[in-house]
């Protein structure tokens, strides 16, 4: 581990937030509940949107499905904040946990997919009929989104297993 990384992780662990997280069992539990709530919001909203884009729920108008984007964003923000709090609890252990590393790479890919969709493909949605079908690129993006977010949830659960192995 490079010295700068050791210093940064040590600083995080000893920060006020890190100390608060390690010193309070109820706070960690509360953060877990919020994290699961955020993931339910994020994944639930993304499933509604992505299933519509894939054409599996064509009876739902596109605008209605896309109205769940703010719910997904709020869920992501909740997960980002609570996930950061978890990381400060034991940054050394998390940073070398393979499930955590894969999860962070997948979150980055999911974010890039969402950014590409909103900036490149999103313009096409404005001209589609409410019950219209989307093109192959949008369907690919939607399918990728479902797959990635499912794997992120699996990796999140695996983090605990690796932590228990004291890797």
Supply the DSSP string of 44-73, one letter for each residue: HHHHHHHHHHTTTTTTS-HHHHHTTHHHHH
Q: What pTM does this model have?
A: 0.90
Residue spans of the domains in the chain: they are 3-164
Integer Cα distance of 108 and 100 in angstroms = 12
Residue 163's closest CA among 90, 56, 59? 90
| Average of per-residue pLDDT across 63-74 | 96
pLDDT above 90: residue 161? no
Band (126; pLDDT cuts 50, 70, 90): confident
Band (79; pLDDT cuts 50, 70, 90): very high
Half-sphere exposure of 94 (CA within 13 A, CB side): 17
Band (130; pLDDT cuts 50, 70, 90): confident
Residue showing tokens 């997904």? 72
Band (132; pLDDT cuts 50, 70, 90): confident
First to last CA, the chain: 15
| Average of per-residue pLDDT across 12-41 | 94
């Amino acid at each position: 581990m490079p010295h700068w990384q050791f210093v940064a992780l040590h600083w995080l662990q000893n920060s006020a937030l890190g100390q608060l997280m390690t010193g309070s069992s109820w706070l960690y539990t509360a953060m877990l509940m919020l994290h699961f709530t955020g993931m339910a919001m994020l994944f639930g909203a993304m499933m509604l949107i992505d299933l519509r884009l894939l054409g599996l729920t064509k009876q739902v108008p596109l605008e209605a499905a896309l109205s769940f984007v703010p719910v997904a964003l709020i869920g992501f923000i909740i997960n980002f904040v609570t996930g950061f709090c978890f990381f400060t609890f034991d940054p050394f252990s998390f940073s070398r946990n393979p499930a955590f590393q894969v999860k962070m790479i997948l979150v980055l890919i999911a974010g890039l997919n969402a950014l590409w969709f909103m900036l490149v493909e999103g313009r096409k949605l404005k001209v589609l009929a409410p019950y219209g079908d989307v093109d192959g690129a949008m369907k690919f993006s939607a399918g990728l989104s479902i797959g990635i977010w499912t794997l992120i949830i699996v990796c999140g659960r695996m983090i605990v297993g690796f932590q228990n192995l004291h890797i």
